[in-house]
């Protein structure tokens, strides 16, 4: 008896042993990532021997897809589960329930080596441009790292790729021989983005990529994200607590609260005409200039 | 009546690269009950200005000029005298309440101590007063919370406790340095609304420091925009935002995405080329010269003149006319 035998479950005598397969989400060929009913629960260490350990429902049933070249934003306040969701999508966390399909492949079901190979197609950029770069490595190595592990590229070809992505993010060839501390916060975030780009990924997951930056520098990085999309058709999953940042970059947005999406839709529409009370509260709290 | 008069305040720091002027010739006045915002990107000298007023500069720094509180120059005060001023006459709230609260003591005890130190009230009176203050800053169930330790409170509640402490001695001036920067946007709104209402009810003056233009716009009557330790533009908040005139203020405004922008209206943000200069390398003349679209040789040798473009609206720029024209035509 196999799952592929449609008669087995219905006609068989012992139908209880047959797993009723949930319908797998239908993947459109232009879909880059499909997140289906993802749950991530953490067990906190028990405070006392007599009390049950606490379960944190960090992500509690989230579903969405991002099409090729799209930019999907997730906004919400601290602790609502944004970073956990990002790590789930990146395959950096096991899931409590649900699935994440990248170009039709369930990444959490892949063998380790296959996942490692697939990783070049989806890369992550973190908030902290200071913590995420190894201070002992020169920029050339930092940026080349993702391809070093994956590809058997020759040294000069690798160098050419490094220079290409550094240029794409507005840095110079001469920057390859410098260390991270020789750069400003915005430049370090550019280095992190260059590293994410070097594998020519289809998807970039960016978790609060501009939150640690001053506004004039933040503007440079936001413009860069737009340019990369225009030029290379990169797909984004952008996580931010800043509604204006998400509005600027994303064409679709989800508002997250306590592990779930309370509202989701085209950015302009959600911002112009929020339906959920939480979205309304969030929007009303943003201090605006004028009005 | 003038409550605070800061005149030609300069803060110098001894750094490994020699003395550096982190605040340069800053002057402003604050009336009783008036609210003033100081806005600018990190490193522009906002916190050092606040610390200089409160006599809390770091060991390697000193202040020149005058800081007069009701006519008395605080810069000539002894540490003992400044101790009396802080708490009694000037209250302070900082960005990260966790570092200013003692983790080992209950919040009730910490507020009471501040009060007993400065006001000489007895224990029972202090308790009644602490409960009143906790209630005033919107802490639910004050009789319970008075016994809480800082780590048992949320970030927003800790900031409310800090505000209660700052107000415990009925100061005439509150200095709030990035009081909501570490908080979520909905909590930020609650805390700012609370501060604004208390200030108004108690008739206090306030200096609110923030890097966030929206926070400044919504919460203060007057604003100073700082860059590289210097005031580049100042005036009544609504006038300044309606007629941004210094190239730096204009650039700052255009760099920030707004939630009421539409994708069609703004596909690119304006950026300010270059980076903030190192303190020790700050140029003579205008501090913004190396990043400014309007710079000419005349900007380099001497500090720019302060031009009044409307009542109370001042701009420190040689090319303010050109910058205004361009801005109006954008
Ligand atoms: N590794 C972990 N172990 C236990 N709890 C966690 C872990 N990571 C996150 N959490 C909890 O999950 C919730 C969501 O966290 P997070 O995804 O970091 O939120 P956000 O990024 O929106 O601020 C929080 O309550 C957080 O404390
Ligand atoms: N103790 C110190 N020693 C040396 N430099 C300092 C010290 N404190 C602040 N600075 C420098 O002085 C400048 C102004 O700092 P600050 O007033 O804290 O800026 P802001 O509050 O506007 O971000 C910055 O360049 C900062 O690095
Ligand atoms: Mg996070
Ligand atoms: Mg500061």
Q: How far is CA B51 from CA A32, A48, A76, B45, in A?
A: 52, 44, 34, 10
CATH architecture of A31-284: 3-Layer(aba) Sandwich (3.40)
Distance, in Å, from the CA atom of A250 to the CA atom of A239, rounded to the nearest integer, reads: 10
Q: pTM to 2 decimals?
A: 0.90
Could you report the per-residue pLDDT of B171-213, keeping only the tens digit for each?
999 999 999 988 999 999 999 999 999 999 999 999 999 999 9
Say if residue B144 is exposed, middle or buried (CB neighbours under 10 Å; 0-12, 13-18, 19+): exposed
Query: What are B11's two structure tokens?
Result: 């803060």
Residue with tokens 């400014």: B292
Chain A residues lying within 8 Å of B272, measured CB to CB: 216, 219
Contact A252, A265 (CB under 8 A): yes
What ipTM goes with this model?
Answer: 0.89
Distance, in Å, from the CA atom of B51 to the CA atom of B57, rounded to the nearest integer, reads: 5
User: Which of B178, B192, B196, B275 is the best substitution to test chain A (most A C-beta atoms within 10 A)?
Assistant: B275
Distance, in Å, from the CA atom of A25 to the CA atom of A35, rounded to the nearest integer, reads: 9
How far is CA A210 from its chain centroid?
14
Could you report the per-residue pLDDT of B251-274, keeping only the tens digit for each?
999 999 988 876 656 678 988 887
The per-residue pLDDT string of chain B (330 residues; one tens digit each, 9 = 90 and over) reads 899 999 999 999 998 888 999 999 999 999 999 999 999 998 899 999 999 999 999 999 999 999 999 999 999 999 999 999 997 899 999 887 667 788 899 999 999 987 877 677 888 888 999 999 999 999 999 999 999 999 999 889 999 999 999 998 889 999 999 999 889 999 999 999 999 999 999 999 999 999 999 999 999 999 999 999 999 999 999 999 999 999 999 999 999 998 887 665 667 898 888 777 777 778 889 999 999 999 999 999 999 999 999 999 999 999 999 999 999 998
Say if residue A250 is exposed, middle or buried (CB neighbours under 10 Å; 0-12, 13-18, 19+): buried
- Cβ–Cβ gap A216/B267 under 8 Å: no
Q: Domain spans of chain B?
A: 2-220, 244-330
Chain A residues lying within 8 Å of B271, measured CB to CB: 216, 219-220, 223
Chain A residues lying within 8 Å of B219, measured CB to CB: 287
Spans of chain A, pLDDT less than 50: 1-19
- Cβ–Cβ gap B184/A214 under 8 Å: no
| Spatial strand order in the sheet of A55-67 | A55-67, A31-43, A97-102, A105-106
Could you report the per-residue pLDDT of B154-163, keeping only the tens digit for each?
889 999 999 9
3-state secondary structure B10-33: EEEEEECCEEEEEEEEEEEEEECC
Q: Write the residue with the smallest CA distance to atom 9 of ligand 2.
A: B48
DSSP for B230-250? EEEEEEEHHHHHHT--SHHHH
Please give the CATH superfamily to which domain B2-220 belongs. Answer: P-loop containing nucleotide triphosphate hydrolases (3.40.50.300)
């Amino acid at each position: 008896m196999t799952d592929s035998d449609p008669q087995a479950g219905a006609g068989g005598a012992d139908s209880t042993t047959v797993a009723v397969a949930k319908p797998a989400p239908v993947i459109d060929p232009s879909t880059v990532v499909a997140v289906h009913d993802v749950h991530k629960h953490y067990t906190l260490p028990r405070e006392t021997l007599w009390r049950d350990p606490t379960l944190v429902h960090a992500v509690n049933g989230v579903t969405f897809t991002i099409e090729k070249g799209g930019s999907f934003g997730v906004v919400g306040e601290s602790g609502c589960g944004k970073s956990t969701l990002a790590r789930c999508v990146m395959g950096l966390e096991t899931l409590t329930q649900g699935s994440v399909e990248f170009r039709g492949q369930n990444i959490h079901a892949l063998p380790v080596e296959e996942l490692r190979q697939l990783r070049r197609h989806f890369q992550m950029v973190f908030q902290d441009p200071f913590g995420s770069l190894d201070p002992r490595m020169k920029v050339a190595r930092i940026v080349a790292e993702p391809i070093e592990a994956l590809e058997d590229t020759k040294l000069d070809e690798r160098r050419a790729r490094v220079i290409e992505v550094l240029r794409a993010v507005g840095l110079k060839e001469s920057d390859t021989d410098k260390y991270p501390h020789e750069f400003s916060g915005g430049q370090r975030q550019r280095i992190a983005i260059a590293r994410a780009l070097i594998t020519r990924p289809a998807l970039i997951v960016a978790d609060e990529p501009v939150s640690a930056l001053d506004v004039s520098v933040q503007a440079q990085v936001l413009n860069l994200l737009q340019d990369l999309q225009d030029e290379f058709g990169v797909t984004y999953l952008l996580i931010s607590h800043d509604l204006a940042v998400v509005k600027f970059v994303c064409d679709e947005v989800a508002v997250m609260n306590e592990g779930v999406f309370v509202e989701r839709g085209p950015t302009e529409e959600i911002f112009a005409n929020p339906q959920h009370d939480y979205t309304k509260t969030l929007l009303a709290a943003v201090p605006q200039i004028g009005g | 009546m003038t409550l605070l008069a800061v005149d030609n305040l300069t803060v110098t720091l001894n750094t490994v690269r020699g003395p550096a002027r982190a605040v340069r010739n800053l002057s402003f006045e604050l009336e009783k009950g008036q609210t003033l915002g100081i806005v600018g990107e990190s490193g522009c000298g906002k916190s050092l200005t606040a610390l200089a007023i409160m006599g809390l500069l770091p060991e390697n720094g000193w202040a020149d000029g005058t800081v007069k509180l009701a006519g008395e120059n605080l810069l000539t005060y002894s540490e003992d005298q400044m101790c009396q001023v802080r708490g009694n006459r000037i209250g302070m709230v900082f960005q990260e309440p966790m570092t200013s609260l003692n983790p080992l003591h209950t919040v009730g005890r910490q507020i009471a101590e501040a009060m007993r130190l400065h006001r000489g009230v007895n224990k029972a009176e202090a308790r009644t007063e602490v409960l009143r203050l906790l209630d005033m800053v919107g802490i639910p169930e004050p009789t319970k919370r008075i016994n809480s330790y800082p780590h048992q409170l949320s970030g927003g509640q800790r900031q409310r406790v800090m505000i209660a402490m700052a107000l415990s001695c009925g100061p005439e001036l509150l200095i709030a340095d990035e009081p909501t920067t570490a908080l979520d946007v909905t909590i930020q709104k609650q805390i700012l609304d609370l501060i604004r209402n208390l200030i108004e009810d108690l008739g206090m003056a306030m200096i609110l420091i923030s890097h966030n233009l929206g926070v400044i716009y919504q919460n203060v009557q007057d604003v100073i925009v700082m860059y590289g330790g210097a005031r580049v533009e100042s005036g009544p908040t609504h006038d300044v935002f309606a007629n941004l005139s210094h190239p730096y203020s204009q650039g700052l405004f255009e760099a920030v995405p707004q939630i009421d922008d539409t994708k069609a209206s703004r596909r690119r943000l304006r950026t300010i080329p270059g980076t903030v200069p190192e303190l020790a390398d700050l140029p003579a003349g205008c501090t913004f010269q190396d990043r400014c679209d309007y710079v000419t040789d005349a900007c380099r040798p001497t500090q720019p003149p302060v031009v009044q473009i409307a009542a109370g609206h001042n701009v420190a720029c040689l090319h303010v006319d050109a910058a205004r024209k361009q801005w109006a035509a954008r």
